[in-house]
């Protein structure tokens, strides 16, 4: 489990651990990337956690002698990648190169489940977005995610490294950072409501997304990890039902029980990188992974808010 | 002119200089990337040459205060990128990021003509290959070239940096390195014939390519540099007529006047990265750039061999 102290990684690590699996959690704990030991709830034994940045440190012998590598490494921040593309390149691509280089040297490498992002598509040319939609990443973060996917393809073709790629949509849920917009608009919006700060909707928040609760994302990762037959394939992972940011914010306000949701004009520097509506064609994942999102927005939001409330200082997560 | 001491860059620099243009030639002269002062024929004044590696050194003030930036930076070696992908990333992507970051800070940035490669397509799914063919780079070098193209798109969209992308096919001609296969199969093949070494054709050399003489590539770059209206577009640049590697080798042997061309079985490690037949659909470049390849294989090969012969030690270029 690489990037296993981050938002999605930690949820997956805890789920695997609760299933009785032996999990080694690796995380570079790099400032801004979302990895934080608080996410692991003291449920992962100290000796199963490895503080390691694959971009800068060698891969220890035996680390990859496992059945499945869940690869959730990287910096998810789109906006920051425009401010500092070189940092984004280092966080998102050097670590992937190091991983695939290490994998190709193993006689029988493990199956890799690589978490990619809907961001590789950029602005949707048609909806819902299937896996054959052209790739047009709108920022350096998306560019580096495309490159990471292509690394998986090349190492598969040349060296037989097996990998399944999941392009995740906007994920939200427990353990998502909620005090920094770099960790995703969903968590940030909930955090602001919980802190009594107004939520600002650019241009009315009309764009629609297929918000995905993190437990559903975790199930998709697990499904891929047990479907070796899907080796070499890519899957869009999102909810079936698109919901506008406005609707998401109003539902969150209702569940928080307070807060202000305010319309503001679209800032020009945001408009230029905004990709607008996006929702997933879930058919390939349903047919080939047997996976479909099952958590309603109501349930997902309620569980998320409950998580933040259950932790001291949880309205600014990670603490 | 970035990468202006390399194979194609130097030919372009000399052509521009002969046209009376003021050219600043920048090259990092990085081992293995093809840049060599011998390529410039003492025709570029010392004060117009800048030894600079954009991946590692800051961009000097004023360097980009020009009308057109011809961007031919990078390492062209596909095979080496599999041996050392991190080096390829540094040579091919860090320099591009540095360039685009510098360009976005200029009030009225120059037009960029970025030399990309047919390698971004990987194995052709249909022939001839148009610009809409899916991208499936077969090696890290191709992955990083895709990313460089996407940088141009993102910086165009977000910051208004203007760029035209040319995906060049197999280019050959004077100043191509002929002693190291990393600089291209065409030059290496001619060099071996000139040195009296046998030319080995994997699997009979049956794959066909639209070999492009470097003067034609230079004309395409110049055409793009004067077609600001093509901003944001991508063009395939190749010859109209595909020729097998065998035919290319036999024609070269005829013109060298000696040499041995021998069939050998395809080495497995080559077969896995071989992309087979490739030729360009030249229509978009013809229609929108007014460019078409005009040099026959006979003329191109004759001029290439003549160049190597005219230089002391030219059968091992660069000297």
Q: What pLDDT is recorded for position B230?
A: 97
**pLDDT value, residue A79:** 87
pLDDT category, A201, cuts 50, 70, 90?
very high
Mean pLDDT, residues A37-43 taken together:
92
Chain B interface test: which of A122, A143, A160 (most B C-beta within 10 Å): A143
Mean pLDDT of the region A236-244 = 96
Answer whether A97 sits within 8 Å of B82, measured CB to CB: no
Low pLDDT (below 50) residues in chain B: none
The ipTM, to two decimals, is 0.94
The helix (run of H) or strand (run of E) holding residue B231 is none
Burial class of residue B230, CB neighbours in 10 A (0-12, 13-18, 19+): buried
Question: Which chain A residue's Cα is nearest to B273?
Answer: A158
Task: Decide if B301 contacts B251 (C-beta within 8 A).
Answer: yes
The confidence score (pLDDT) of residue A272 equals 79
pLDDT value at residue A42: 87
pLDDT of res. B184? 92
Residues of A in Cβ contact (< 8 Å) with B97: 85-86, 89, 140
Q: Is B305 exposed, middle or buried (0-12, 13-18, 19+ CB in 10 A)?
A: buried
Return the residue of B nearest to A271 by Cα: B158
What is the rounded distance in angstroms from the CA atom of residue A35 to the CA atom of residue A26? 10
Structural domains of chain A in order of their starting residue, each with its CATH number: 7-310 (3.40.50.720)
* Predicted pLDDT at A269: 78
Residue in A100, A143, A151 nearest the CB of B151? A143
Contact indicator for A50, A26 with CB cutoff of 8 Å: yes
Omega into B160 within 30° of 0, i.e. cis? no
What is the secondary structure of B136-182 as a DSSP string? --SSHHHHHHHHHHHHHHHHHHHH---EEEEEE--EE-TT---S-GG
CA distance B136 to chain A (A): 7
Nearest by CB to residue A101, choosing from B85, B98, B139, is B85
- Rg of chain B, C-alpha, whole Å: 19
A89 with B93: Cβ contact below 8 A: yes
Output the DSSP codes for B114-135: EEEEGGGG-S-SSSSBPTTSPP
Beta bridge mates, B234: B165
Regarding beta strands B208-209 and B243-244, do their DSSP bridges make them parallel or antiparallel, or are they unpaired? antiparallel
C-alpha A314/C-alpha A306 separation (Å) is 10
Q: SS3 for A54?
A: coil
CB contact under 8 A, A138 and B157: yes
Residue A273 has pLDDT above 80, yes or no: no
Structure tokens at B251: 């024609």
Tell me whether residues A143 and B150 touch, CB distance under 8 A.
yes
Q: Do B272 and A158 touch (CB under 8 A)?
A: yes
Tell me: pLDDT of A268 over 90.
no
CB contact under 8 A, B154 and A139: yes
Confidence (pLDDT) at B133: 95
Confidence of residue A32 (pLDDT cuts 50, 70, 90): confident
A145: nearest CA in chain B? B147
Q: In the structure, what pLDDT confidence band is assigned to residue A18 with cuts at 50, 70 and 90?
A: very high
Average pLDDT of chain A, as a whole number: 95
Residues of B in contact with A151 (CB under 8 A): 85, 140, 143
- pLDDT of the residue at A270: 79
Segment A218-229 mean pLDDT: 97
| Number of alpha carbons in the 13 Å side-chain half-sphere of residue A77 | 25
DSSP label at B63?
A: T
pLDDT of residue B207: 94
Q: Of A128, A112, A224, nearest to A169 (Cα)?
A: A128
Q: What is the dihedral of CA A169, A175, A177, A179, to 10 degrees?
A: 130
Confidence (pLDDT) at A282: 92
Query: Averaged over A209-222, what is the pLDDT?
Result: 98
pLDDT (0 to 100) of residue B270: 79
pLDDT for position B269: 78
Closest-CA distance of chain A to residue B260, Å: 31
What is the rounded CA–CA span in Å between residue A261 and residue A253?
8
Please compute the mean of the pLDDT values over residues A264-279 and round it to a whole number.
87
What is the number of H-type helices and E-type strands within chain A?
A: 11, 12
Q: Do A143 and B135 touch (CB under 8 A)?
A: no
Q: Which residue of B99, B154, B233 to mutate against A (max A Cβ within 10 Å)?
A: B154
Q: Give the predicted TM-score (pTM) of the model.
A: 0.96
Enumerate chain B positions whose Cβ falls within 8 A of a Cβ in A.
82, 85-86, 89, 93-94, 97-98, 100-101, 135-140, 142-144, 146-147, 150-151, 153-154, 157-158, 272-273
Question: With an 8 Å Cβ cutoff, are A94 and B86 in contact?
Answer: yes
The contacts of residue A29 (CB under 8 Å, 6+ apart) are A5, A35, A36, A37, A51
Give the other-Cβ count within 10 Å of A278's Cβ: 23
pLDDT, tens only, A82-116 = 999 999 999 999 999 999 999 999 999 999 999 99
């Amino acid at each position: 489990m690489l990037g296993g102290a981050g938002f999605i990684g930690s949820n997956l690590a805890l789920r695997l651990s609760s299933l009785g699996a032996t999990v080694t959690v690796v995380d570079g704990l790099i400032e801004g990337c979302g990895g934080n030991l608080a996410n692991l709830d003291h449920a992962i034994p100290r000796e199963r956690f490895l503080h390691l940045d694959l971009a800068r440190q060698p891969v220890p012998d035996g680390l990859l002698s496992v059945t499945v590598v869940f690869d959730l490494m990287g910096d998810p921040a789109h906006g920051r990648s425009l401010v500092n593309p070189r940092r984004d390149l280092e966080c998102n691509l050097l670590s992937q190169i190091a991983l695939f280089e290490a994998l190709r040297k193993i006689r029988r490498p493990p199956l890799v489940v690589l978490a990619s992002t809907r961001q590789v598509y950029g602005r949707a040319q048609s909806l819902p977005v299937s896996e054959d939609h052209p790739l047009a990443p709108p920022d350096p973060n998306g560019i580096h995610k495309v490159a990471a996917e292509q690394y998986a393809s090349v190492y598969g073709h040349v060296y037989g490294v097996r990998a399944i790629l999941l392009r995740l949509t906007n994920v939200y849920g427990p353990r998502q950072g909620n005090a920094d917009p770099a960790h995703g608009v969903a968590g940030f919006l909930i955090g602001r409501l919980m802190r009594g700060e107004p939520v600002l909707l650019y241009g009315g928040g009309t764009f629609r997304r297929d918000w995905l609760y993190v437990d559903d994302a975790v199930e998709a990762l697990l499904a891929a990890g047990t479907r070796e037959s899907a080796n070499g394939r890519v899957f869009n992972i999102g909810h079936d039902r698109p919901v506008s940011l406005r609707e998401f914010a109003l539902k969150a306000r209702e569940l928080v029980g307070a807060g202000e949701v305010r319309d503001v004009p679209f800032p020009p520097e945001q408009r230029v990188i905004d990709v607008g509506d996006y929702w997933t064609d879930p058919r390939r994942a349903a047919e080939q992974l047997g996976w479909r999102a099952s958590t309603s927005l109501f349930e997902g939001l309620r569980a998320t808010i409950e998580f933040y409330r259950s932790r001291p200082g949880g309205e600014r997560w990670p603490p």
